[in-house]
Amino acid sequence: MLITREQIAAKVAQMGERISNDFAGESLVLIGVLKGATIFLADLARQIKLDTTFDFVAVSSYGNGRQPSGSVRLVKDIDRSMEGRNVILVEDILDTGLTLTFLMNLLQSHRPKSLKVAALLDKISRRTEPVHADYVGFAIPDEFVVGYGLDFAERYRNLPDICVLESGAESR
Protein backbone atom coordinates (compact mmCIF):
# COMPACT_ATOMS: atom_id res chain seq x y z
CA MET A 1 0.00 0.00 0.00
CA LEU A 2 1.35 3.40 -0.99
CA ILE A 3 -1.36 5.89 0.04
CA THR A 4 -4.17 5.05 2.43
CA ARG A 5 -7.81 6.06 2.09
CA GLU A 6 -7.37 8.38 5.10
CA GLN A 7 -4.41 10.15 3.50
CA ILE A 8 -6.35 10.49 0.24
CA ALA A 9 -9.42 11.91 2.00
CA ALA A 10 -7.36 14.50 3.90
CA LYS A 11 -5.54 15.61 0.75
CA VAL A 12 -8.70 15.80 -1.35
CA ALA A 13 -10.38 17.93 1.34
CA GLN A 14 -7.40 20.34 1.30
CA MET A 15 -7.46 20.53 -2.47
CA GLY A 16 -11.20 21.24 -2.47
CA GLU A 17 -10.69 24.03 0.01
CA ARG A 18 -7.91 25.60 -2.06
CA ILE A 19 -10.03 25.44 -5.21
CA SER A 20 -13.03 26.93 -3.36
CA ASN A 21 -10.84 29.84 -2.21
CA ASP A 22 -9.11 30.34 -5.56
CA PHE A 23 -12.42 30.56 -7.42
CA ALA A 24 -14.51 32.24 -4.71
CA GLY A 25 -17.63 33.83 -6.17
CA GLU A 26 -17.18 32.09 -9.54
CA SER A 27 -18.70 29.00 -11.10
CA LEU A 28 -16.64 26.01 -12.22
CA VAL A 29 -16.73 23.10 -14.62
CA LEU A 30 -14.88 19.97 -13.57
CA ILE A 31 -13.89 17.86 -16.56
CA GLY A 32 -13.04 14.31 -15.57
CA VAL A 33 -10.82 12.11 -17.71
CA LEU A 34 -12.59 8.75 -17.95
CA LYS A 35 -12.36 6.36 -16.38
CA GLY A 36 -9.52 6.75 -13.92
CA ALA A 37 -10.55 10.17 -12.56
CA THR A 38 -14.14 9.30 -11.70
CA ILE A 39 -13.61 8.42 -8.05
CA PHE A 40 -11.28 11.36 -7.46
CA LEU A 41 -13.74 13.72 -9.17
CA ALA A 42 -16.64 12.42 -7.09
CA ASP A 43 -14.76 13.05 -3.85
CA LEU A 44 -13.16 16.34 -4.91
CA ALA A 45 -16.45 17.81 -6.16
CA ARG A 46 -18.03 17.27 -2.75
CA GLN A 47 -15.25 19.32 -1.14
CA ILE A 48 -15.80 22.31 -3.46
CA LYS A 49 -18.23 24.86 -2.11
CA LEU A 50 -19.03 26.61 -5.39
CA ASP A 51 -21.54 26.39 -8.21
CA THR A 52 -20.01 23.40 -10.02
CA THR A 53 -20.95 21.28 -13.03
CA PHE A 54 -19.33 18.15 -14.49
CA ASP A 55 -18.31 17.03 -17.93
CA PHE A 56 -16.16 14.11 -19.06
CA VAL A 57 -13.69 13.25 -21.79
CA ALA A 58 -12.25 9.89 -22.70
CA VAL A 59 -8.94 9.32 -24.40
CA SER A 60 -7.04 6.22 -25.32
CA SER A 61 -3.30 6.30 -24.86
CA TYR A 62 -2.40 3.16 -23.00
CA GLY A 63 -3.24 -0.26 -24.36
CA ASN A 64 -4.14 -2.89 -21.86
CA GLY A 65 -0.92 -2.65 -19.94
CA ARG A 66 1.75 -0.48 -18.42
CA GLN A 67 3.34 1.08 -21.48
CA PRO A 68 2.03 4.22 -23.18
CA SER A 69 1.54 3.84 -26.91
CA GLY A 70 2.86 7.39 -27.44
CA SER A 71 -0.18 8.76 -29.23
CA VAL A 72 -3.38 10.04 -27.66
CA ARG A 73 -6.74 9.68 -29.34
CA LEU A 74 -10.02 11.35 -28.29
CA VAL A 75 -12.66 8.70 -27.65
CA LYS A 76 -15.32 10.94 -26.08
CA ASP A 77 -15.47 14.73 -26.41
CA ILE A 78 -17.06 17.14 -23.91
CA ASP A 79 -20.81 17.69 -24.26
CA ARG A 80 -20.85 21.52 -24.20
CA SER A 81 -18.62 24.39 -25.21
CA MET A 82 -16.29 25.65 -22.46
CA GLU A 83 -16.10 29.17 -23.88
CA GLY A 84 -15.84 31.70 -21.05
CA ARG A 85 -15.97 29.03 -18.33
CA ASN A 86 -13.59 28.30 -15.47
CA VAL A 87 -12.43 24.80 -16.30
CA ILE A 88 -10.54 22.37 -14.11
CA LEU A 89 -9.35 19.24 -15.83
CA VAL A 90 -9.41 16.41 -13.29
CA GLU A 91 -6.87 13.61 -13.85
CA ASP A 92 -6.01 10.57 -11.78
CA ILE A 93 -2.29 10.63 -12.54
CA LEU A 94 0.15 12.73 -14.48
CA ASP A 95 2.81 10.46 -15.99
CA THR A 96 4.59 11.32 -19.26
CA GLY A 97 2.26 14.30 -19.73
CA LEU A 98 1.15 13.24 -23.22
CA THR A 99 -2.51 12.91 -22.25
CA LEU A 100 -2.59 16.24 -20.46
CA THR A 101 -0.83 18.08 -23.29
CA PHE A 102 -3.37 16.71 -25.74
CA LEU A 103 -6.34 17.64 -23.52
CA MET A 104 -5.02 21.13 -22.68
CA ASN A 105 -4.73 21.87 -26.41
CA LEU A 106 -8.24 20.57 -27.02
CA LEU A 107 -9.74 22.65 -24.20
CA GLN A 108 -7.75 25.82 -25.01
CA SER A 109 -9.41 25.77 -28.42
CA HIS A 110 -12.74 26.38 -26.62
CA ARG A 111 -11.39 29.66 -25.23
CA PRO A 112 -12.26 29.07 -21.56
CA LYS A 113 -11.99 31.93 -19.07
CA SER A 114 -9.43 29.86 -17.16
CA LEU A 115 -8.01 26.38 -17.49
CA LYS A 116 -6.38 24.54 -14.59
CA VAL A 117 -5.39 20.97 -13.87
CA ALA A 118 -6.03 18.94 -10.73
CA ALA A 119 -4.11 15.65 -10.62
CA LEU A 120 -4.30 13.33 -7.65
CA LEU A 121 -0.90 11.77 -8.38
CA ASP A 122 2.20 13.07 -10.12
CA LYS A 123 5.05 10.81 -11.32
CA ILE A 124 7.41 13.68 -11.98
CA SER A 125 10.38 11.52 -13.00
CA ARG A 126 8.44 10.10 -15.97
CA ARG A 127 7.57 13.45 -17.55
CA THR A 128 8.51 13.92 -21.22
CA GLU A 129 6.22 16.91 -21.93
CA PRO A 130 6.52 20.40 -20.41
CA VAL A 131 3.21 20.30 -18.50
CA HIS A 132 2.37 20.63 -14.84
CA ALA A 133 -0.71 20.36 -12.66
CA ASP A 134 -1.93 23.40 -10.72
CA TYR A 135 -3.32 21.22 -7.93
CA VAL A 136 -1.40 18.05 -7.09
CA GLY A 137 -2.32 15.52 -4.42
CA PHE A 138 0.81 13.40 -4.07
CA ALA A 139 4.12 13.22 -5.92
CA ILE A 140 4.95 9.51 -6.24
CA PRO A 141 7.97 7.49 -7.38
CA ASP A 142 8.06 5.64 -10.71
CA GLU A 143 5.93 2.67 -9.67
CA PHE A 144 2.80 1.37 -11.35
CA VAL A 145 -0.09 2.06 -8.99
CA VAL A 146 -3.70 0.92 -8.88
CA GLY A 147 -6.79 1.67 -6.81
CA TYR A 148 -8.99 4.72 -6.16
CA GLY A 149 -9.89 4.77 -9.86
CA LEU A 150 -6.52 3.71 -11.27
CA ASP A 151 -6.48 0.44 -13.16
CA PHE A 152 -4.29 -2.24 -14.55
CA ALA A 153 -6.10 -3.62 -17.64
CA GLU A 154 -9.36 -2.21 -16.19
CA ARG A 155 -9.01 -4.03 -12.86
CA TYR A 156 -8.45 -2.76 -9.32
CA ARG A 157 -10.19 0.62 -9.84
CA ASN A 158 -12.45 -0.11 -6.88
CA LEU A 159 -9.67 -0.55 -4.31
CA PRO A 160 -10.17 2.18 -1.69
CA ASP A 161 -6.42 2.73 -1.16
CA ILE A 162 -3.66 3.37 -3.71
CA CYS A 163 -1.40 0.35 -4.01
CA VAL A 164 1.73 -0.53 -5.97
CA LEU A 165 1.06 -3.33 -8.44
CA GLU A 166 3.34 -6.25 -7.57
CA SER A 167 5.28 -7.71 -10.45
CA GLY A 168 3.55 -10.97 -11.26
CA ALA A 169 0.12 -9.56 -10.36
CA GLU A 170 -0.55 -9.19 -14.11
CA SER A 171 -1.18 -12.87 -14.58
CA ARG A 172 -3.47 -13.34 -11.59
Q: Does 41 bind ligand IMP (CB under 6 A)?
A: no
What DSSP line would sit under the chain, residue for residue?
Answer: --B-HHHHHHHHHHHHHHHHHHTTTSEEEEEEEETTTHHHHHHHHTT--SEEEEEEEEEEEE-SSSSEEEEEEEEE--SS--TT-EEEEEEEEESSSHHHHHHHHHHHTT--SEEEEEEEEE-GGG--SS---SEEEEE--S--EEBTTB-BTTBSTT-SSBEEPPTTGGG-
Instruction: For ligand IMP, give the closer residue by CB, 51 or 75.
Output: 75
Q: x/- site string to ligand IMP, residues 82 to 101, per CB under 6 A? A: ---------xxxxxxxxxx-
- What's the min distance (Å) between Cβ of 39 and ligand IMP? 13
Quick one: what does residue 103 bind among Mg ion, ligand IMP, none, with the CB cut-off 5 to 8 Å set by partner type?
none
Question: Contact between 2 and ligand IMP (CB under 6 A)?
Answer: no
Residue range at the interface with Mg ion (CB under 5 A); choices 4-12, 31-39, 79-87, 130-138? 31-39
CB of 155 to ligand IMP, least distance (A): 11
Binding site for Mg ion (CB under 5 A): 36
Binding site for ligand IMP (CB under 6 A): 33, 36, 61-62, 68, 91-100, 144-146, 150
